[in-house]
Structure 1
Amino acid sequence: MNLPTTYVRARSAEQKEERRRHLLVTARLMLSDTPKLLDLGLNELARTAGMTKSNVYRYFESVEAVLMDVLVEEFVGWQLELRAALARRKLKVTAEHIAWAFSETIAARPLLCRLTSILPSILERNVSLERMVGFKRNLLAVQQQAALDFHSSHPAMSVRAFEQLIRHALPLLIGLWPLSHPSEVSAQVLVQPGLESLRYEFRSDFERGLLTLLGGLATVQEPSG
């Protein structure tokens, strides 16, 4: 995409949000063609979006800030898909179905998994305090809504228990995604006989991990008033 001949600065709140959304949509398109997430740079993002780098800085302070906003969008989309998956269940929702719906909807969003897997080690290292506060609050809102959705479909477990499920599922995801997507050399080694226990398959292993967590959290109750 070529840079516009005359760039007009966004002044209204609506125009600014439109520009921010344009940058996020552009970033998503670029990420679909980028094997390594951090190969995405602000120079390339600005050029592809038809903006100057200085104008991109009006909306995002770093590549990490862009990726964090994309991740929030991914989690919002996941929560809506999770709710729909739970609602499609005609029979009584069991712990097994909870684990299946959770793992199925997460695994269907590889970009969410890729970004989450580098969240604590990379994405959270180059953003301002203000942006970090906004990101954490947005993430917490999604997690709380997902916990409510889980509880609505499976009232036998408390909202608090489901909040803990999501809390502990996050590090499970962070660890399992890279383990189930090893480097080329590691993948060649892991196919050798005798190394079966070191191989990971993301969706099925995530589901089994969730079932283990659910078994331990089933007795967690809402705190008394």
Structure 2
Amino acid sequence: MTTSTYLRARSAEQKEERRRHLLDAARSLLLEIPDVHDLGINELARCAEMTKSNVYRYFESSEAVLLTVLVEEFMIWRTELRAALSRGRRRGTIEHIARAFSATVSARPLLCRLVSVFPSILERNVSAERMVGFKHGLLNIRNETALDFHNCMPSISASAFEKFIHQALPLLIGLWPLSNPGTVAAEVLARPDLAALRYDFRQDLEEGLLMLLRSRPS
């Protein structure tokens, strides 16, 4: 689609098409750039073949775009998690839940990249209205995921799983950058004498999730 086509768009369907096109362009850019901070409105407008003013009709900032992509990533992850929970010989155990959680999260690096910066970066330049929508989206996903866990393991209440997810989020936020250090830090951590300081995202996440589940109130 060309910029002129977007300028003529008027219907609700066309407006949603513009919005979807911008989000798809953002996803394409995020596959190319190493740092999500590098996604700006200029780059997004260029990739989407739209003017900056048109981009601003739908998103007030690049952070607003990234928050929307993040919610979509969470929704895709939840679908994949539900499928993973239904598989395996150890269904109905905390080990199965921790393994399914860590495996499906690890399989979505874009989700991990965005989660790791959303409280410190992505929430800093968006409107209150956008923030309310984002937070409600997160809350819905958390509550629905807690129900998925409860259905997998009925001996633990949905409310207990909600608290588990609440505590698991900071673990995910912290582990991703620790497991993906910069070039110099990675070279230093490759030294045998510093092996104890290395992190393996999937393995350490699974172990951390198990610790949370085992320490839950009875």
Q: TM-score range by the shorter chain?
A: over 0.9
Q: 1:213 to 1:50 in 2, by over 3 A?
A: same
Instruction: State the partner residue of 1:195.
Output: 194
Q: How does 1:194-213 map to 2 (within 5 A)?
A: 194-213=193-212
- Of 47-56 and 73-82, more deviation after overlay is shown by 47-56
For 2:90 and 2:96, how far apart are their aligned partners in 1?
10
Alignment of 1:18-167 (within 5 A): 18-89=17-88, 92-167=91-166
* 1:105-136 Cα deviation digits (max 9, x unpaired): 00000000000000111000000101000000
> How well do the aligned residues superpose, as a CA RMSD in angstroms?
1.4
Unpaired runs of at least 5, structure 2: none
Q: Which stretch shifts more, 53-62 or 87-96?
A: 87-96
User: Are 1:157 and 1:218, in contact at CA under 8 Å, matched by a contact in 2?
Assistant: no
TM-score (norm: length of structure 1)? 0.93
CA distance in 2, matches of 1:21, 1:168: 32
Distance 1:188 1:49 in 2: 37
Q: CA deviation at 1:7?
A: 4.2
Instruction: Give the letter for the 1:161 counterpart.
Output: A
The residue number in structure 2 matching 1:170 is 169
CA distance in structure 1 between the partners assigned to 2:3 and 2:139 by the alignment? 38
Structure 1 spans left out of the alignment, 5+ residues: 220-225
Percent identity reads: 64
Aligned amino acid, residue 60 of structure 1: F
How many pairs were matched up? 218
Local SS of the residue matching 2:119: coil
187 and 123 in structure 1: CA distance in 2 versus 1, 3 angstrom threshold: same
Distance in 1 between residues matched to 2:138 and 2:157, nearest whole Å: 20
Judging by fraction of residues, say which structure has more helix. 2
- Check conservation: 2:85, 2:100, Cα contact below 8 A: yes
* Residue 163 of structure 1, CA deviation: 0.5
In the superposition, the TM-score normalised over structure 2's length comes to 0.95
Q: Report if aligned partners of 2:90, 2:96 keep a CA contact under 8 Å in 1.
A: no
Residue identity in the other structure for 1:37: V
